[in-house]
Structure formats: C-alpha cells, structure tokens
Chain A
C-alpha cells in the first residue's frame, strides 16, 4: 500500500508532527512499507473473535474520591520550558 503527499500531510496533522517538504518522499516510503506489513492482517478471518484490549480480564480498580496529592507545582514547573506566575506560557490563542 502506497501513500502519497496529501496523506503524509494528513498524518502529520493527526500526529501533530511537522514534516518538511524535503522529507515527504522518505516518510511516505517508509510508512508505506509499514502499512504493507499491516495488510497481511486482512487475509485472516477473524469473524467471531472478540477484540483483546488487555492481557488480564479484570475490572478497572476504583478509589475513594479524596485528595491524596499535595501541591507540588513549584517542583513540577521547574522542568517546564516557559512559565510565569505559576502558569505555563503558550503562544497567544485568543485574539
């Protein structure tokens, strides 16, 4: 299965990863090879087979709805690229 430039652009947007114009050909070539591998699955009859999401058939554990974490924003924001007044800085979103 071969994918073209427009599909690479679509996938780039889905994945939020910039693909430069001069990389498109290489990216589409390698992605096509991986998708070829996926095509092998289509030949298999899976009628009646329940999808398996997880190795164990157990119920999701729940916990009591109470605060267990203390405020550590100073420690956690130390690794942020840009902060001000305890907030994360991003480019302007609303004009």
Chain B
C-alpha cells in the first residue's frame, strides 16, 4: 500500500518512475474522501490544486529538476495563508477568507514540488491544546475516536497518524506541534524561534509562534525542515544567519551524548504509565551510548502563568486587525463604528479566543501592566535562564511532552485553566525560544506517548539525530492505527 511507505521509499519510487506523483496524490485524495468524514482532520480539501501540482511535479521528475520532496503530497495547517485557498484558522471570523497570497513556508514547499492536499483543522487561531475549539468541530484522534488529537495542530497530527497525508506543516506557540505529535504517535519538531519565517502565518503570539514539520520519522522531518526554512526579510524576527543542514547529523553516533533529566518533569501530576514510557525511552537512548545527568529547572511552574499572560497580551494586539472592515466576518447593519467592531468580533470569535483577547487586553491595561505583563516577562527570563544553566551540564534535556496521553473529547472544555496546565512541559521551551521535538516512544492506556527532547538554540540537527538514531532501534514511529493502516 502506497500510504504505508516511508517518504524516503515514496521518493525513491517517484525518482525511479515506478509511481507518479499524480497516482500518489490521487491515492491520498481517495483516502481523505473515505476516512476524513469520521476524523474531521481537514477543513478544506483541494483536489484540483493537488493534482495540478502533482502533474507539475511529475514533469520535474521526468526532466531531472526534481528534489528529494518533489511529488510528495503535503497538508498545510489552516493557519498558513495559501493563495486562492480558504484560510480560516478554524474560525468563523475567517470562514469567508480566501488568502490573497502565500505564506513564506507555503511558497518554499511549493518550490520543493509538494502537492497541497488541503488545509488541516486546528484550535481556533491556534489557541488551545485539543483542537476542540475549531469552528468546524473537533478533530478525532485516529488511535481512539473518543480522544482528542491534541492541539492546536491536531488536524495535522491526525492526518499523519491516519495516513491521510505523508507530511504536514504545524505551528507551535506553547506546544502546538509537540503535544499533538505526542498524542497521535508521530514526530514533530518546533525549531529555534526565528528559524522559519512567520510571513503569512496568521499571528497568535508573535514572540512565541514558530512553524515546523510533522511526519512519521525524524529523518523525514529533517528533510522538510531543510525545505521550509531560510531567511525571509518579510518577517522582521526571521534570523539572517545561514541555516544548518538539518539532516547532516542524522547518522552520527550518540556515543558521549549527555542527556539532562530534570526532576521537575517527573513530579506530581505525571501519569505513571507515561512516566514508565519516558524512562524506558531514555534507557534505550543510554544503550546507544548516551549518559544521563540530573538537572534542575526550578522555575518550571512559573512558565504556565507567565505564558498565559504574555501570549494573550500579544494576541490582544495581533487580533485587533479583525475589525469587520478589511477582511473577515462583518456584523449585519452596524449602527456606528464601535458597534461594527464589537459585534463583528463578538460574532466572529469563539469563546476561548474572546477570553484570551480580553485577558490580554486586561493584562496590558493601565494599572495592571507592571503587575501582570512586566512580571510575566521577568518570569519568562527566569524560566529561560533555568534552561541555559541546565545546558551547561548537558547537551539536551529529555522528559514527557504532556502529563497524560490524549484525554477524551469534552473532558477539559469546561475549565480553561485545566487545559492550560496540561501544557506545563512544552510552554517553558517556547518562553526561551528553544527547539523541542516529540518522537513516538510507546503507549499509555492504549494511547500514544511522545518523548520530549529539548536542546539549546540552533540544536535542531542534534535533536533530529537523536530522533533518527532512536528510530533505528525502535518501531514506535512505524506503528499505525489498525483501521488506517
């Protein structure tokens, strides 16, 4: 079956002329038509665009101008502006928004020759950890239809797990690539802040947002990250320096690798079955030549409150652009300008998005700025410094991605703060702008669990090396839910 091949095998068959990109793309479109109605992982499917791009890829494969990823289909999170395609951010606000240009990531992956299958479902405006806040309804976890796929890139993780796309783009502001990757048993990496251009990615919290690849294996993610990152002057925070070859270190030995294990990541609240999976995975990495050292992240618990001040504060500013005037939802018969703003936004945004805008506006308002916003920025530095101190003793840090495997749909929707606290292991990494990866490491209560690997700035190639070496001696990343294999 085509969809059970690795991307490497697909690429070899495409280059050898054994299959065409049109055949491969059509195969995925057929699977989407068959399985997506029950999973709801796609907001929009783009068969015509996909097949047109596949034909172009086949031409390149024939005339010798094809690269490694040419002809491999891809699904883009519905946060990436895609020229001529609805780009909704899973919000009613943008239900009518046909993007007039491509995000830089989309431009680069088009250039690589990857046919676009469609746009994946997510938490509205990427604000959530379960993909339940989508205007288009929740995505289901392919491993268990009662479970959430995680979020906010839940649709992206689900399409990989269910073989409805071989590769997908995600974004990660507080864990939105790594947590769904963990919940769906796939590989995902959030690169160092500034590695991937944010141009054309619908903004949530600009000092945290970063895009990255989602796929079955670390090797595939390395190829995709190579294709999607370069300096882009249209993003003022995109780093100018030359990008490393993220696949260069894949085959390096892990002999001598120093793995920091923070006691704070194995404390109260961690599901014992998840803990066992993580400890077993670290033991496996030790067998490959690594040694572990205890490290400390004493301010870990400050990360969640700090993030939930700063990210909403940035969101309240970023989302002020939705005014019912230039694009997006507009209320009927506004009686004056303020009524236009207030009703368009009240009607267009869902509950969680409104909550974060309101909280953010409050945290920035007169009288609270020092107590909330500046205080949170000071805590951000303390959390950041914990990591830089730890990295003096180790090369990378390992621990769980989330305290539990995927929770049930509806389980946390009534209490926003219980959802926030589930991000306690991923958020600190975003506060410091560090790269972080989730790789499949086993199962707890029948649901997938990912190993979280975090490194200093610009250590992506090392993280992917660790992922690839781990995946040479384990097969967790090759396991698929039975009904989608």
A residues near B, CB below 8 A? 11-12, 14-20, 27, 30-31, 33-38, 40-42, 44, 46, 49-56, 58, 60-61, 63, 72, 75-76, 78-82, 88, 90-93
Q: Which residues of chain A have C-beta atoms less than 8 A from B237's C-beta?
A: 54, 56
Q: Are A14 and B345 in contact (CB under 8 A)?
A: no
B342-367 toward A: CB 8 Å interface, digit per residue (1/0)?
11011001000011011111110100
- Give me the 4 closest cross-chain CB pairs, A-B, nearest first: A55-B433, A51-B377, A18-B346, A52-B381
If A38-B309, A38-B372, A80-B327 touch, whether A55 touches B345 (CB-CB below 8 Å) is no
Q: Are B342 and A18 in contact (CB under 8 A)?
A: yes
**Interface SS, B side:** helix
CA distance in complex: A90, B327 (Å): 12
**Interface SS, A side:** loop
| B380 beta carbon closer than 8 Å to chain A | yes
Partner of B337, one of A38, A61, A80, A90: A90
CA distance in complex: A34, B415 (Å): 10
Q: Which residues of chain A have C-beta atoms less than 8 A from B233's C-beta?
A: 61, 63
CA distance in complex: A46, B177 (Å): 31
Q: Are B377 and A31 in contact (CB under 8 A)?
A: no
- The segment out of B251-259, B300-308, B473-481 that lies at the interface is B300-308
CA distance in complex: A5, B235 (Å): 40
Q: Which residues of chain B have C-beta atoms less than 8 A from A55's C-beta?
A: 192-194, 207, 384, 431-434, 457
Inter-chain CB contacts under 8 Å: number: 165
If A17-B354, A49-B378, A50-B378 touch, whether A78 touches B362 (CB-CB below 8 Å) is no
B354-409 at interface with A (beta carbon < 8 Å): 354-355, 357-363, 365, 371-372, 374-382, 384
Q: Which residues of chain B have C-beta atoms less than 8 A from A42's C-beta?
A: 371, 375
Q: Which residues of chain A have C-beta atoms less than 8 A from B96's C-beta?
A: 79
Q: How far is the CB of B358 from chain A (nearest CB, A)?
A: 5
CA distance in complex: A16, B337 (Å): 11
Could you list 22 A-B pairs, sorted by A, with CB under 8 Å?
Answer: A11-B358, A15-B357, A15-B358, A16-B323, A17-B342, A17-B345, A18-B346, A30-B355, A33-B415, A34-B355, A34-B417, A34-B420, A35-B359, A37-B304, A41-B305, A42-B371, A46-B382, A53-B207, A60-B236, A90-B325, A91-B337, A93-B337
Partner of A15, one of B324, B361, B433: B361
- The segment out of B102-110, B152-160, B328-336 that lies at the interface is B328-336
| B316 beta carbon closer than 8 Å to chain A | yes
CA distance in complex: A78, B326 (Å): 9
Count, chain B residues at interface, CB 8 A? 74
Q: Are A79 and B100 in contact (CB under 8 A)?
A: yes
CA distance in complex: A79, B98 (Å): 7
If A33-B416, A78-B100 touch, whether A41 touches B337 (CB-CB below 8 Å) is no
Q: How far is the CB of A89 from chain B (nearest CB, A)?
A: 8
Q: Which residues of chain A have C-beta atoms less than 8 A from B223's C-beta?
A: none
Partner of A49, one of B327, B361, B381: B381
| B290 beta carbon closer than 8 Å to chain A | no
Q: Are B316 and A15 in contact (CB under 8 A)?
A: yes
Q: Which residues of chain A have C-beta atoms less than 8 A from B236's C-beta?
A: 60-61
Q: Are A52 and B361 in contact (CB under 8 A)?
A: no
Q: How far is the CB of B206 from chain A (nearest CB, A)?
A: 9
| B320 beta carbon closer than 8 Å to chain A | yes
Partner of A17, one of B358, B371, B374, B434: B358
A16-B323, A80-B325 known; 17 other A-B pairs, CB under 8 Å?
A: A14-B362, A15-B361, A17-B342, A19-B346, A38-B309, A49-B378, A50-B381, A52-B378, A55-B192, A55-B207, A56-B193, A56-B433, A60-B236, A61-B233, A81-B327, A88-B325, A91-B337
CA distance in complex: A90, B341 (Å): 10
| B339 beta carbon closer than 8 Å to chain A | yes
CA distance in complex: A76, B341 (Å): 20
Q: Are A81 and B354 in contact (CB under 8 A)?
A: no
Q: Are B378 and A79 in contact (CB under 8 A)?
A: no
Q: Which residues of chain A have C-beta atoms less than 8 A from B194's C-beta?
A: 55-56
**Beta-carbon nearest neighbor of B240 in chain A:** A61
B211-255 toward A: CB 8 Å interface, digit per residue (1/0)?
000000000000000000000010011011000000000000000
If A17-B349, A53-B207, A79-B327 touch, whether A31 touches B341 (CB-CB below 8 Å) is no
**Beta-carbon nearest neighbor of A8 in chain B:** B358
| B97 beta carbon closer than 8 Å to chain A | yes
Q: Which residues of chain B have C-beta atoms less than 8 A from A49's C-beta?
A: 378-379, 381-382
**Beta-carbon nearest neighbor of A3 in chain B:** B362
